[in-house]
Amino acid sequence: MNAIPQAATLTPDDAAPASRGRWIVAEVEALYQLPLMDLIFRAQQVHRQHFDANEIQRSTLLSVKTGGCSEDCGYCSQAARYHTETERESLLPLDEVVAAAQAAKDRGASRFCMGAAWRGPKDRDLEKVTEMIRAVKGLGLQTCVTLGMLKDGQADQLKEAGLDYYNHNLDTDASFYGQVITTHKHADRIDTLGQVREAGIMVCSGGIIGMGESRRNRAALITQLANLDPPPESVPINNLVPIPGTPLANVAPIDHFEFVRTIAAARITMPRSFVRLSAGRQEMSEELQALCFLAGANSIFYGDKLLTTGNPEADRDETLFAKLGLRPI
């Protein structure tokens, strides 16, 4: 019987080469170049070493402050400078957030994520967000927020409020970043993630695939995430949803198998992280989602809406999970 092909220079272990303790871009590119069946087989082996292969973690995401953002992220409908259908809204009142969190818990979500369209929170806004965190924690849910870039001391305030996860995606790799965002730098995101780690909060950080980047850019993004010390506990992989009015509205969609390869590369390089199917899942067939789960995805956003884009309805997910024999964590 023929041996399973292995990527050049990669060890058979599920971690980065022991001699360096870090991945390099060429190694992750080599993963992408494996025959798809071999890549998925390897990713599934790694997945089963650290997780139950038939369990899926479910998170629900709520926009607590929508629109009017000063940044120029080319994919985002919430940037004030773009003409999209997203309207500017004020911060939601506490009771609406708690009601949404309770509804998410009732539907089977274990984590509740709250997002605000800011470059970064002002202190007066952060005080209101910490109230939300405490109230959602009181329901027995894990909490996550995405508030943009943090200033000194703000991560500590979030930790004191009981925050479990802070989401701040790298979006894409450092070399491609300037083609998507110009109002801040890739290094600014790394700095915020460092503050979150220092405060003792778990990290949720991933990227967006299909923004016109190359395979090498995708491999570099996965490498940068995997080489964070430690890697993020949650890694959302978003498939770009082109939004009319944004600079990326007419970008050609990424090949489905390339997206699956990205999921597998994330699983192999970050074996202990939750890899989450995030934006773009509404456009995915049941078969494509199943292939992503086979490649190592074990977390989803659960509910009918993300921050501003659609998401498969909970009933549709329940039907799919029943077909696949998947259980909630």
Give the active site residues. Answer: 69, 73, 76, 113, 144, 204, 276
Burial class (CB in 10 A: 0-12, 13-18, 19+), 13: exposed
Nearest to 34 by CA among 1, 4, 13, 7: 7
Contact between 14 and 271 (Cβ < 8 Å): yes
- 222 token code pair: 């996965």
Backbone phi, psi, residue 250, to 5°: -115, 20
Residue 15: enclosing H or E segment and its boundaries? none
Spell out the SS3 assignment of 208-234: EECCCCCHHHHHHHHHHHHCCCCCCCE
Q: Is beta strand 55-65 parallel, antiparallel or unpaired with respect to 299-301?
A: parallel
Whole-angstrom Cα distance, residue 192 to residue 276? 21
Give the CA dihedral 168, 271, 17, 265, nearest 10 degrees. -70
- What is the spatial distance between Cα 127 and Cα 327, in angstroms, rounded to a whole number? 36
Alpha carbon distance 312, 316 (integer Å): 6
Task: Give the HSE-up count for residue 39: Cα atoms under 13 Å, Cβ half-sphere.
Answer: 25
For residue 80, give the amino acid letter: A
Residue 139, helix vs strand vs coil: coil
Mention every residue, 6+ apart, whose C-beta is less than 8 A from residue 13: none
